Chain A
Amino acid sequence: MTEQELIRGCKRQDPLAQRALYDQYSSLLFGIVRRYVRHQEDAEDVFVEGMFKILTRIASFREEGSFEGWMKRIMVNEALMFLRKKNNLRLVADVSELQIGDETSIEHQIHADEILALVDQLPTGYRTVFNMYVVEGYKHREIAEALDISINTSKSQLILAKKRMRELLKKNRFHKTAS
């Protein structure tokens, strides 16, 4: 089934097309949710809700833009909604931890199979802002709006996330070398 046939079938609420769409995109979409939501069970709740929205609101998808992009946005929004509800993301800019030079780049290389293990070790605020900024490409203004935080808080969370990530990568690399 081509992407267009899948979309048309799902717009008709055809159960076979719905199952085919699930089979084709579930691992990609669940991967996105897992980058934001640490626990498997919570991530699955978010994923089920997001997938249900995709399958029932598909009629509102205009076949102009990217279908994958449309589905990804629904999943990210669903994850953010969950995090706001569950973690009460009242992040504040913790400037005391920030030092000049913290924005320097991370030299370590990273592979897809290490990403979930790495982001799982970040605190929720760091992980959320990092994912939104680095992977999804949101601007700090958009992140601030979505999470109901200040732009400065978004910026500082990103710097702190990168700082923590650098430490974690250094540690992991050390462990790998030692073992």
Chain B
Amino acid sequence: MKGFDQTFREEAQKVRATPSASAWKRIESRLETTRARRSAHRSRLLGYAAGLILLIGLTIGGLYMLNQPELIQRGAYSASITDLEAPATSGQSIYSVEKARALSSVMIAYGHDSQ
């Protein structure tokens, strides 16, 4: 014959009780809050990652450009400076073109010296 403890254990494992309907509603609303918080967190992380990649890309690109003397010789930098200043008023743009040319000749001279 089974002992009391064993019978009690077996019977206790059969015990079922029903929580009220509001129990699931409480759990569901907490799950939704967690889900929303998680997705906001994920978007923020993605934003940070994208910013970091952009920064690294720009840094590498910049360093690459600075280490290419041929680009400086060909006047690539002066052209870009002129392009950037082109939308200014007509009087200023002549001045900018002259300034850019002066700057590029300095850079070309520096490029020749370094070689």
Contacts and interface: CB of A to CB of B under 8 A. Distances in A.
B34 A56 contact: yes
A51 B25 CA distance: 12
B23 A110 contact: no
A44 interface: yes
Q: Is the interface of B mostly helix, strand, loop or mixed?
A: helix
A28 B12 CA distance: 10
A55 B8 contact: no
Given A15-B31, A22-B27, A55-B27, A111 B11 contact: yes
A126 interface: no
A22 B9 CA distance: 24
A27 B18 contact: yes
A26 B21 CA distance: 11
A12 to B, nearest CB: 11
B30 to A, nearest CB: 5
A112 B11 contact: yes
Nearest to B24: A22
B91 interface: no
- What does DSSP make chain A's interface, helix, strand, loop or mixed? helix
B31 A48 contact: no
Nearest to A32: B15
A52 interface: yes
Contacts of B19: 26, 30, 43-44, 47
A131 B15 CA distance: 13
Interface residues of B, number: 26
B47 to A, nearest CB: 22
B90 interface: no
Contacts of A18: 31
A48 B9 contact: no
B3 A110 contact: no
B30 A135 contact: no
Interface in B1-46: 3-5, 7-9, 11-20, 22-24, 26-28, 30-31, 34-35
10 tightest CB-CB pairs across the interface, nearest first?
Answer: A112-B14, A106-B4, A27-B16, A31-B15, A112-B11, A31-B17, A135-B12, A34-B17, A30-B17, A31-B16
Interface of A: 13, 15, 18-19, 22, 26-28, 30-35, 40, 43-44, 47-48, 51-52, 55-56, 105-112, 115-116, 131, 134-135, 137
8 contacts: A26-B23, A34-B15, A48-B27, A52-B27, A56-B31, A56-B34, A135-B9, A135-B13
Given A19-B28, A26-B23, A31-B15, 11 more contacts: A27-B16, A30-B17, A30-B18, A32-B15, A33-B17, A43-B19, A47-B23, A55-B27, A107-B4, A109-B7, A110-B4
